[in-house]
Structure 1
Amino acid sequence: MSDRRYRCTCPGATVWVTGPPLADRLAAAYALADRLAAERRRVEVLDRFDGPGTNAERAGLLAEVLARNGVVAIVPCAAEAVAAVRARHEASGTRYVEVCVAGRESPQDSVAAVQGLLAGRC
């Protein structure tokens, strides 16, 4: 349903986590999920969409659907297809946050950066 009258009013969002290596992306994604769950937010980590043969645009579509329905969908994915995913979210009016874990001291630094971005867009 694309009719805005039927959309969830909960503040969902897609958080796209990029940067090498995959272990850092996953650590940041799960640290963020733990922190958001502790705040009683609905959260889902889509961690099966990274690697050979995966489709980042498909992950973006799934994340957008979840976000439109009040879930914070966290996608620790490589940077390919980011522009298409971002454009799709903008077109549908769905909140979208990108964070790169490269150059951060720890996953907690990435989590703090994302929480600041999410708080600024609520």
Structure 2
Amino acid sequence: MTHESPGATIWLTGLPSAGKTTVALAAAERLRAGGRRVEVLDGDEIRAFLSADLGFSRADRATQVARVGWIARLLARNGVLAFAPLVSPYAADRDALRTASDAEGLPFLEVYAAAPVEVCADRDVKGLYAGQRAGAVTGLTGVDAPYEVPAAPDLVVKTHEEPVAASAAHLVALLADRGLA
């Protein structure tokens, strides 16, 4: 009989271009190199394939978060570390994910990619901030739509103050401390 490693949901939240996906991918690569089963549930990819019916209204954002959270729990139940880098601007949606994971006895870690909006706008990996300045994009989280900073995240990575490798190392260390790495 083999011992399966426990799975978990690792939810990375933060403004657009804060570095959520970049940190998740770097941490996942390190963990996979050590033989850990890991999936990165990129919010943009899931929007394209499973949530193309959704926009960016409050209700649609909640549905997207709930869908990705369900997939993450499914993976976690099967011993996979499921990284979910999504803006997920509303605390109530993130809290609902934690509650659902807790109800199933599954670990849930909230990681806040903390980068100021000015830094995110300079990075602007998707052109959202430029589009907002040009008037082509409205409802941009952290600019003209709300972002609720996590009140008590399990980890804060200051992606504007340290290299990606350092943020990923902090995340892997948290997982190791929790017996998940």
TM-score bracket for the superposition, by shorter chain length: 0.7 to 0.9
Structure 1 unaligned regions, length at least 5: 1-7
Q: TM-score, normalised by structure 2?
A: 0.57
- Out of 67, 79, 99, which is 2:111 matched to? 99
Aligned to 2:102: 90
Conservation of the 8 A alpha-carbon contact between 2:72 and 2:84: yes
| RMSD over equivalenced CA pairs, Å | 2.0
* TM-score, with length taken from structure 1: 0.82
Equivalent-residue separation in structure 2 for 1:56 and 1:94 (angstroms): 17
- Is the aligned partner of 1:72 residue 2:89? no
Matched, 1:44 2:44: no
Q: 1:40 to 1:9 in 2, by over 3 A?
A: closer
Unaligned runs of 5+ in 2: 48-54, 116-157
Q: CA–CA distance in 1 between the matches of 2:36 and 2:174?
A: 16
Shift of 1:109: 3.0
Structure 2 CA distance, aligned partners of 1:82 and 1:109?
Answer: 25
1:110 aligns to 2:105 (yes or no): no
CA distance in 2, matches of 1:109, 1:49: 27
Structure of larger gyration radius:
2
| 2:27 counterpart letter in structure 1 | L
Structure 1 residue 107 displacement after superposition: 2.5
1:19 aligned to 2:28?
no
User: Is 1:30 aligned to 2:25, yes or no?
Assistant: yes
The amino acid that maps onto 1:106 is P
